[in-house]
Amino acid sequence: MPLVAHKPLPAFDQLSQQGQDVLSLDHALKQDIRELHIGLLNMMPDAALRVTDLQFMRLVGSCNRIAQLFVHPFSIAGLPRSPETQQYIDRYYTTFERTREHGLDALIITGANISNPKLEYEPFWKPLREVVSWATENVTAVLCSCLATHALVKHLYNIDRQRLPQKRWGVYRHRVMSADHPFLQNINTRFDVPHSRYNTITRAQLESAGFTILVESEEGDVHMAVGPDQYQMTFFQGHPEYDRNSLFKEYKREVQRFLNGERSDYPPHPENYFSIEAAQLVDEYQHSVFQAQQKGLAVPPFPDKTIEPLLDNTWGDTGKAIFNNWLGHVYRNTLA
């Protein structure tokens, strides 16, 4: 069913240009179709803010329920913003106060970058707790992504995430662990999910708090789980919203950090992500970087246009199916 362009958010135009079904507000108001209002608390850093809007709105827009989908992006205090990004938020986002006043049927909370050893030391911790406390009492379903999962599990169940020996970075094969759960109806029993994180919450930690594990990777990491109530709180550690090139962009940022002297080692490949052809080109570029540095020459530009067509998306359809099932629960359990 279509997204409704109820405000001049640039993401609506971009999604429409990409073939997404987007209705104008005038057109939507003339139709007698049920509405679902979904909040998107976007806590991502400036560089990823707008693309995160697109990614989650694309998943929401893939829902096949007979409804008009109003997505309400908002942010919270305590997140560092450039003047340009803050201007964008002020212009196109709503506020939590207004969101709370009008109400939501569902809420999605994204990840965020952090700068403190403990989540509760982050400046956004108190505002995030305020949103979560309201949502647990007033919203049918809440879905948390990556850092938001770690933050809410800490806030609601006092479970501390654990530092991984090395960054979990790449695309990993997963298996459905609770096939009878409504959120997993009619999806593949094995599928890929991208991950990008330094910390994890383990199966044992979640099960000790009464969680049900829905999807887990063959490497042993939990991707998707639901809280003790089975439906209101859903937690992702991976990133089904990622575009085909999201990990590639992250890899390039790490290469640039190496070139800027911000990291001592050249970044490894994201695991299980590059095709054989793409990996060869990436390695050839790494060799050319080392040669240029040894000879005191300018580093050649990254061959983006050659590599990007060789990248695959092996997770998108399953991500859409899970979101469709999740929004189906919202659809069935909210008043028209």
Range of the domain at 123: 3-242+313-332
Q: What is the mean pLDDT of residues 292-314?
A: 96
> Which pLDDT does position 85 carry in this prediction?
97
Q: Are residues 200 and 291 in the same domain?
A: no
Distance of CA 206 to the CA centre of its chain: 20
102 annotated active-site = no
Using one digit for the tens of pLDDT, what is the confidence trace for 91-102? 999 999 999 999
Q: Are 92 and 10 in contact (CB under 8 A)?
A: yes
- What average pLDDT is seen over the chain? 93
Judge whether residue 28 has pLDDT over 90.
no
pLDDT above 70 covers what percent of the chain?
Answer: 95
Q: Are residues 169 and 251 in the same domain?
A: no
Q: Are residues 219 and 130 in the same domain?
A: yes
Number of domains in the chain: 2
Using one digit for the tens of pLDDT, what is the confidence trace for 40-55? 999 999 999 999 999 9
Nearest CA-CA partner of 56 in 106, 126, 91 = 106
Q: Which residues sit opposite 224 in a β-bridge?
A: 215, 236
Q: What is the mean pLDDT of residues 103-131?
A: 95
Using pLDDT thresholds of 50, 70 and 90, give the confidence band for residue 33.
Answer: confident
Q: What is the mean pLDDT of residues 22-29?
A: 66
Q: Are residues 26 and 171 in the same domain?
A: yes
195 annotated active-site = no
Choosing from 72, 181, 239, 329, the catalytic residue is 239
Q: What is the mean pLDDT of residues 234-245?
A: 97
> Which pLDDT does position 11 carry in this prediction?
79
Q: Are residues 24 and 86 in the same domain?
A: yes
CATH number for the domain including 81?
A: 3.40.50.880
Choosing from 146, 174, 216, 254, the catalytic residue is 146
Q: Are residues 179 and 292 in the same domain?
A: no
Q: What is the mean pLDDT of residues 272-301?
A: 97
Q: Are residues 199 and 217 in the same domain?
A: yes
Q: Are residues 144 and 280 in the same domain?
A: no
Considering only CA atoms, give the Rg of the chain: 20
Q: Are residues 228 and 211 in the same domain?
A: yes
In whole angstroms, give the CA distance from residue 56 to residue 333.
21
Place of tokens 């992702």: 236
- 28-42, 72-86, 284-298, 308-322 — which is least confidently predicted? 28-42
Q: What is the mean pLDDT of residues 118-146?
A: 96
Q: Are residues 19 and 126 in the same domain?
A: yes
Q: What is the mean pLDDT of residues 9-13?
A: 80
Using pLDDT thresholds of 50, 70 and 90, give the confidence band for residue 232.
Answer: very high
pLDDT above 90 covers what percent of the chain?
Answer: 83
Choosing from 122, 216, 241, 254, the catalytic residue is 241
Q: What is the mean pLDDT of residues 248-255?
A: 97
239 annotated active-site = yes
Q: Are residues 119 and 95 in the same domain?
A: yes
Judge whether residue 32 has pLDDT over 60.
no
Q: Are residues 282 and 178 in the same domain?
A: no
**CA of 277: how far to CAs of 170, 282, 308, in Å?**
17, 9, 11
Q: What is the mean pLDDT of residues 292-307?
A: 95
> Which pLDDT does position 309 carry in this prediction?
97
Judge whether residue 274 has pLDDT over 70.
yes
Judge whether residue 2 has pLDDT over 70.
no
